[in-house]
Amino acid sequence: MARSREKLGRKKEAAVLALLTSRNVEEAARVADLGTSTLYRWMNEPEFDAAYREAKRAAFSQAIARLHQMAAAAVTTLGKVMVGPNTPPASKVRAADSVLNHAAKAIETEDIEARLSELERAAEASKSSQKK
């Protein structure tokens, strides 16, 4: 939210944080000491919406990083279950498999985001060269 923070102001920045940490918009409005209608109105403002989306992406990126960190433990758990002579913990296998699946999806998502960013840069460069 670094770029957007300069433009938003403290009250809107607090509202973005409240949206990230609250269960719903009404609760976020209470946490940010705003009226619900004010927060809904702000959410329709492009500048606020951009800051909120940027903050959500940053939070999600942290969650993806945690998944990556846990992938090695998941592999270890899966390996122990697979080779353990007396261990039938199906729930551990499902959990390990779930972590691995999420980590793989996160990599796919990051790859798509990188490709999209490159396409956007190329489109912007093309647009800039056409103006000259």
Residue range 14-27, pLDDT digits in tens: 999 999 999 999 99
Residue 5 confidence class, pLDDT cut points 50, 70, 90: low
Task: Compute the distance between CA of residue 90 and CA of residue 61 in angstroms, rounded to an integer.
Answer: 29
Residue 108 confidence class, pLDDT cut points 50, 70, 90: very high
Residue 99's H or E segment, with its range, is: helix 90-131
Q: Dihedrals φ, ψ of 17, to 5°? A: -60, -45
* Per-residue pLDDT at 132: 66
Listed in sequence order, the DSSP H helices in 22-89 are 25-31, 36-43, 46-83
The tokens describing 131, both together, are 């103006």
Residue range 45-104, pLDDT digits in tens: 999 999 999 999 999 999 999 988 998 888 888 777 777 778 776 877 777 788 888 889
Which residue type, as a one-letter code, is found at position 6? E
Residue 1 confidence class, pLDDT cut points 50, 70, 90: very low
What does the domain layout of the chain look like in residue ranges?
Answer: 2-131
Is residue 4's pLDDT more than 60?
Answer: no
When computed from its CA atoms, the radius of gyration of the chain, rounded to whole angstroms, is 21
Q: DSSP code of 132?
A: -
